[in-house]
Structure 1
Amino acid sequence: MRNDFKIKNINFCCKRGTLSQGNKQQVLSFTETKLLELLLNEVNEIVLKETLKEFAWQHTVVTDSSLTKSIAKLRKALAFFLEDEELIITIPRVGYKLVSNDVTPIAEMDNLTDLEEYLATEDSLIQATESTSEQPSAMSLRNKILFVLSALLIGGSLFNFLRFLPSDNERYIDDSYHLIELSSNGFTHTVITPKSMELPQEISYLLSQQKCDCLFFVDKISGHFNISYFNPAKSQGVSLILDEKNLIEKLGSNLPKGDK
């Protein structure tokens, strides 16, 4: 199956589990992502309930009620972009159908360009790592400490600076970074990442669940994620440096859950 589609003017990335249009973005759960993937691959065709459940939940036994709830959430995510249009229709006692004459697979060249950018970034990181590894082992600990302190200072400075930017602050961000918005549960989160970095779906989903209109900066250097957080309503900020092992568990336990 293809992973990426364009639904009218909305981009759907199955790997990331996102629906996006410009700077607007909706983050889907794993189940919602799989349901939409199957419906898009069978666009304008009826997909049976059992087929959907088997594909989205795989070897887990689920009820029709769980399927109905997931379809409702998926409809809500699509309605964020298409308020007056119902794409997914119910076929009573049979299944569901995604109805649209404007669904197309995204050109594979787009994925190739992303891959080339990613590989170029990885080459740079590998060279930097190899260069560092040639230094005497006595310098290793000091370098790690300096790296952590630098990341914290950079993250804090970035958030303090962005607090005073106007609402169209994307034009103030360096060309090598981009800004996206994650909307979920009535909250809107701004996320800044390097253009060369693909934000993992698990991180996107976890950030989108924060109960605040927050600002996040996410970067990855030499296998470590630098994640900085700022809640303007509380003037509260946190900077974290986490390795990939148990990343989601550590992020979930350290990330504040603010509220308006």
Structure 2
Amino acid sequence: MILFNTLSNKLSNRNKSAKIGYREAQVLELLIQHSPNVVKKCDIIQHAWGNQYVGETSLAKSISSLRHALLKLGANESPIVTVPKVGYRLINDCIACDTPKPIQIETVQKAFVDTSTPTVTVNSQHNTIFHHYRFSICYLSAFILLFSASLLAFSKSYGWHWENINSKHSLTIRKIDMIDVISTPDTYLSPELLALLSEHQCHCVLYFEQNDQYAELSVMDRNSRRSINIFYTQGQPHIVSSQIISFLEEGQ
């Protein structure tokens, strides 16, 4: 069992621990809340990045970092499954939230209050702090609004768009007969994999992602809605061949 501390953004088991980033922690927390159901990519991006505009590449990098951290902690295969063109889901309960209980305010007050002097309530303390920083908050909000308006005017004047930054990282779709293959433009499909897909055809969508350490291949049958997720290293091509052939032959 892997424990996830939502306060320190840390994954741990009995022997070791791994620190993850803030965005990765937000993504994992949402997947745990909805496990084993599929969470749409747009919902994950909204939860982890808020109103900040990011492309699907940023989400894919966060998912990749999470999977790498889970492998460090001894997971045999990634419990995070890619559902092509939809989102991600957590397939089992091998990850549990481990959040320390918050300290009750009443307990702290009883421990440190001096009964011989008048006490100040928590509400009055909050009101005092709010009034003290009220003008600073107003100035900061005005500055943010002014900066946003200036940025918007600049983008309209010079024809600059956020999409121009992420266009080179967008996903591409290529067809191998009846199979739609989704990947990033720089993803390399080996001749062996291309030959395997050409020989075994179905009305399927295939998503392929790889880096220097591992690769992920997801296939979904459009007709039966069946799907398979294969997580492997570069030295295990036989795992891909046998599992894909078995999956495609079952749908025929």
Q: Same fold judged by TM-score > 0.5?
A: no
TM-score (norm 1): 0.38
More strand by share: 1
